[in-house]
Amino acid sequence: MTVGIGVACHGGSCVVLAADGKGSFKGEPSLSHERLGKQHALPLGLYSNLAGTVKICNSFVNRLASALEGHPQNDPIRLDELLEIVESARYAELKARLNIEMKKHLQMTIKQWQDLPSASPRYRRGRRLNSRYWLPVEFLIGGIIRGSGCLVYFTPDEDAANEESLVCIGTGGNAAYRWLMKRNQEVHMSLPRTLLHVAEAMREARLKNRKTVGEPADYVVITATQTRRMPAKDPTLQQMLASYAGRDTKEIDSSDELHRAVQSAMYLPKAAAFKTKKER
């Protein structure tokens, strides 16, 4: 698993996403991969973080990207449209994975199982399998939706995708969330102050979950006009981490110096991670 954080800030005009780069392997706790990609650029200026079984996460995000690609690229997507697309992709991935489980355990497809008499033993086995299977994916997507910063997310125990202004997922999600609540993180805080709180939360998540949470990848900063990255090891950010340890951070909101330093440190990715069909 992992940790993923999404926070809307700067009055809702900006979204910050964070994730670590560590991948751990089931049944092999001593093995890990420290540069596993967990952040994905998507169409429509959206970006996602995922936690869970890697191959299923990748399959889901590819399914989601294809669905988003079908939305008119010059037409801002509405929140209800995004929620519907996410849920449709989630259901399609769940159905595909359940179909695999049906073939493995019952040697038949979902359609073949549905055609069985409801009183048959194989039908009852399939119903139990259906009720117990869940999609091992935690997901959050961030972007500017109709002019406001927004996070859409789901976890395996969620009945439907939801919208929030602050989301934490993965094995380190609880530790990160508790830290952000301790800092009273909210949507009207400035970008520099938010980046500090997110960096602190990432550090807290790793301290509490060293076996599954690694070092943070560069932070993704989304506005209405562009998506940039903030180096996780930026000297200004590291200095803030040291200077504000155990201190109130309110003064950061009015610091023009820190605002300029953060703006200068951010960079544009060399190439987008996702291309539309026309660009491929």
Helical ranges in the chain per DSSP H = 54-69, 79-106, 110-114, 121-132, 173-182, 191-208, 235-243, 256-265
Q: Is residue 271 part of a domain?
A: no
Whether the pLDDT of residue 280 is over 50: the answer is no
Whether the pLDDT of residue 33 is over 60: the answer is no
Q: Is residue 105 part of a domain?
A: yes
pLDDT, mean of residues 180-186: 98
Q: How many domains does the chain have?
A: 1
pLDDT, mean of residues 11-26: 81
pLDDT reported for residue 132: 86
Q: Is residue 100 part of a domain?
A: yes
pLDDT reported for residue 261: 97
Distance from chain centroid for Cα 228:
16
**Amino acid letter, 53:** T
Side-chain-side CA neighbours of 116 within 13 Å: the count stands at: 18
Q: Which tens digit of pLDDT belongs to each residue from 84-99?
A: 999 999 999 999 999 9
Q: Is 258 exposed, middle or buried (0-12, 13-18, 19+ CB in 10 A)?
A: buried
Q: Is residue 256 part of a domain?
A: yes
pLDDT, mean of residues 137-148: 93
Q: Is residue 274 part of a domain?
A: no
Q: Is residue 87 part of a domain?
A: yes
Spatial separation of the C-alpha atoms in residues 209 and 172, rounded to whole Å: 6
Side-chain-side CA neighbours of 98 within 13 Å: the count stands at: 21
Q: Is residue 278 part of a domain?
A: no
Higher pLDDT, 277 or 49: 49
What is the chain's length?
Answer: 280
pLDDT classification of 12: cutoffs 50, 70, 90: very high
pLDDT, mean of residues 162-172: 95
pLDDT, mean of residues 206-216: 90
pLDDT, mean of residues 32-58: 80
pLDDT reported for residue 26: 52
pLDDT classification of 133: cutoffs 50, 70, 90: confident
**pTM assigned to the model:** 0.87
> Which of 132-146, 205-219, 228-242 reaches the highest mean pLDDT?
228-242
Spatial separation of the C-alpha atoms in residues 147 and 5, rounded to whole Å: 21
Range of the domain at 37: 3-265
Higher pLDDT, 23 or 205: 205
Percent of the chain residues past pLDDT 70, beyond the cut:
90
pLDDT reported for residue 243: 97
CATH number of the domain that 70 lies in?
3.60.20.10
Q: Is residue 276 part of a domain?
A: no
